[in-house]
């Protein structure tokens, strides 16, 4: 997906690029198997690592090849994240242990970054493109200044995963034992926390979250503003808040829904303070899923007994209760809360149902062969899209003129 959401690329036996607004095919062509790909933030080009030991950059407007870069035969190449302006692309080669940086407009080589003594297995780019960070099997993490393409810091890190904070002020390196947060400007340690799984940072860089896959525990940690020399020696302080992670949806409603340890209560937390500002209780069985609307006005909870509740977060009351939804796999909610969609299984078929939130009445039913893997409500509530094992489709979520079921 292009960063501005203007286009989408699908890669399999063919490479196809679609315009999001119209569904028009921008580019299409045969392809050998593709192990890696990355798109320009504005969607103007698409870079691929092909199976014939080439890195290729394609123009998505014309479908033509801009340039191709030969790779070391048999190497495991990685494409780095791209800076906001999409002006360059970094490609790592585990055979010669280098990073090559290419101008995406001219196809010229800008720099060869050497210094790692073993294969490079992870990389990240700051949002403003001022630095690039790489991690190698040699036990070092290197921060490169993109203005000079020289090494800014060499850090003694065994990180197998890297993350740049959204504001570019810190970087995270994680391995099987801990996650370390370092200042991007100085390389000094800000904090170290135990456990590693997935992690993500706040947009202002003030906190980050770690998900322990083995314990299924989500922890949110404060990040000290300055270097603390005692961080490495003293055990970290307990996290600011801890909750069991249970299928919370990836949305940004301005708060975070989590399920309490009792399994029957959903807490809504302020991400800045970690304080619970609302608790949704009354579930007879454990809550399996939480799906908030993007504006935070509603949240859907689905329980193990098949009860589905649409909550008004302002009043903490149930707006709609649907029973018999035990086979519900996915759920999508209109941003205004006017309707909600559910996906369930019926033999080999996927059944999508559209419900009126105010009355709980069934508005529309669609049956499709196969399995639905994603269900998305449009930002204005005018359409509903789903992706399945056999097709990706989009339909109107608005009633036909004169009333009746949505088309």
Residue of 193 and 116 predicted with greater confidence: 116
Domains observed in the chain? 7-244 (2.130.10.10), 256-396 (2.130.10.10)
What are the tens digits of pLDDT across the range 260-298?
Answer: 767 788 888 776 666 788 888 888 888 887 777 767 788
Q: What tokens were used for 5?
A: 């959401």
What are the tens digits of pLDDT across the range 80-103?
Answer: 667 878 889 888 877 788 888 989
Smallest CA-to-CA distance from 167 within 224, 205, 124, 201 is with 205
pLDDT value, residue 241: 37
User: In DSSP terms, which residues pair with 174 in a beta bridge?
Assistant: 161, 179
Rounded-to-integer distance, Cα 110 and Cα 99, Å:
11
pTM of the model: 0.52
What are the tens digits of pLDDT across the range 341-384?
Answer: 888 888 888 888 999 988 889 998 888 877 887 788 877 778 88
The conformation of residue 219, written as its DSSP 8-state character, comes to E
Smallest CA-to-CA distance from 339 within 322, 351, 324 is with 322
Rounded-to-integer distance, Cα 193 and Cα 173, Å:
11
What's the Rg (C-alpha) of the chain? 24
- pLDDT range class, residue 254, cuts 50, 70, 90: low
Judge whether 60 and 36 are in contact, CB under 8 Å: no
Q: What are phi and psi of 214, to 5 degrees?
A: -80, -40
What are the tens digits of pLDDT across the range 98-148?
Answer: 888 989 888 899 999 999 998 888 888 888 888 999 888 888 889 999 999
pLDDT at 406 over 50: no
Judge whether 319 and 310 are in contact, CB under 8 Å: yes
pLDDT value, residue 245: 33
């Amino acid at each position: 997906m292009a960063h501005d959401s203007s286009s989408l690329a699908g890669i399999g036996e063919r490479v196809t690029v679609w315009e999001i607004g119209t569904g028009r095919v921008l580019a299409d062509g045969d392809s050998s198997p593709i192990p890696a790909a990355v798109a320009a933030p504005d969607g103007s080009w698409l870079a691929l690592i092909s199976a014939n030991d080439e890195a290729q950059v394609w123009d998505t407007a014309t479908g033509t090849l801009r340039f191709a870069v030969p790779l070391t035969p048999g190497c495991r190449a990685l494409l780095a994240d791209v800076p906001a302006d999409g002006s360059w692309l970094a490609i790592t080669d585990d055979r010669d242990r280098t990073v090559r940086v290419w101008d995406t407009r001219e196809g010229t080589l800008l720099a060869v970054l050497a210094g790692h003594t073993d294969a490079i297995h992870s990389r990240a780019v700051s949002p403003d493109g001022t630095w690039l960070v790489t991690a190698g099997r040699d036990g070092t993490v290197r921060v490169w200044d993109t203005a000079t393409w020289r090494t800014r810091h060499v850090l003694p890190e065994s990180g197998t995963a890297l993350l740049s904070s959204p504001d570019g002020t810190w970087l995270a390196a994680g391995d099987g034992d801990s996650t370390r947060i370092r200042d991007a400007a100085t390389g000094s340690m800000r904090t170290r926390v135990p456990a590693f799984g997935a992690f993500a940072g706040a947009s202002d860089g003030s906190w980050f979250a770690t998900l322990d896959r083995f314990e299924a525990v989500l922890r949110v940690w404060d990040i000290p503003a300055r270097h603390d020399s005692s961080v490495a020696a003293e055990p970290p302080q307990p996290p600011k808040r801890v909750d069991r992670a249970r299928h919370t949806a990836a949305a940004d409603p301005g708060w975070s829904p989590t399920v309490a340890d009792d399994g029957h209560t959903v807490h809504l937390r302020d991400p800045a303070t970690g304080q619970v500002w609302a608790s949704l209780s009354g579930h007879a069985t454990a809550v399996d899923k939480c799906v908030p609307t993007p504006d935070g006005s509603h949240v859907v909870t689905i329980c193990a007994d098949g009860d589905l509740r649409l909550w008004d977060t302002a009043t903490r009351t149930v707006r709609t209760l649907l029973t018999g939804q035990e086979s519900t796999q996915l759920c999508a909610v209109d941003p205004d809360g006017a309707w909600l969609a559910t996906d369930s299984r019926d033999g080999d078929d996927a059944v999508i149902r559209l419900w009126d939130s105010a009355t709980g009445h069934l508005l529309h039913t669609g049956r499709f062969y196969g399995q639905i893997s994603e269900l998305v409500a449009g930002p204005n509530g005018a359409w509903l899209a789903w992706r399945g094992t056999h097709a990706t489709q989009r339909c109107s979520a608005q009633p036909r003129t004169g009333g009746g079921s949505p088309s």
